[in-house]
Structure 1
Amino acid sequence: MYEIPSHKILRLNDIEFIHEAIVDDRHQISGHYHPTLSVKLNGKRVTEKCILQTESKLILPSFGKYTGGLSINNKIFKPYLKSGFNAYICNEKNVYKFSSSDLKKNVK
């Protein structure tokens, strides 16, 4: 039987794959919090799963159809969002990019 190695943190060059992001300046790709974003798209308010990008982090949404997420306005994200960030909503046809300055006037 083949034994599959497991890691708390898997490092590839200078990128760490980790379940829950650590608040520091290391480059990490994580999940756990699964961000969502509520914005106006084409005149209609929608709440969608999003990818959250900071200077050193990518926090991924949940990929399951029936799994939820946390609004990027949730206090849990505050330590990660001290400087500028981007949020990306992806659907079957498009990718929508929202910068932190865009969201100041758009986020509910």
Structure 2
Amino acid sequence: MTLQTQLVLRTLLETPTKARYGLELSNSAGLAPGTVHPILARLESAGWVESFWEDESEIEKTDPPRPKRRYYQFTPDGAESARLGLAQAFQGGAASARLRPATGGIGA
């Protein structure tokens, strides 16, 4: 697990039930959007997070109009998988922790 992945996970774990959009996560983690979005895609593939596009009605309320945002939040098992993955990365070094499907647990 890379340091950047750990930063994204820690940022998501600050408010584990809240959906957050990519640029918000980038700013909070102190990483470039081009770094964060591939990490979010890997976390989604592993089943740790899920994503959805915001509702059109939310965009209509903004002035000036802005592009639609894609939001990310933990799956039901994702936050626990993230906590375990971070603990494993901390104990054994970042290289030993690997993303595993949320339902299958975390392992090296």
* Coarse TM-score class (shorter-chain normalised): under 0.3
**1 or 2 for the larger relative contact order (CA 8 Å, sep ≥6)?**
2
Question: TM-score, normalising length from structure 1?
Answer: 0.22
Structure (1 or 2) with the greater strand fraction: 1
**Which has the greater radius of gyration?**
1
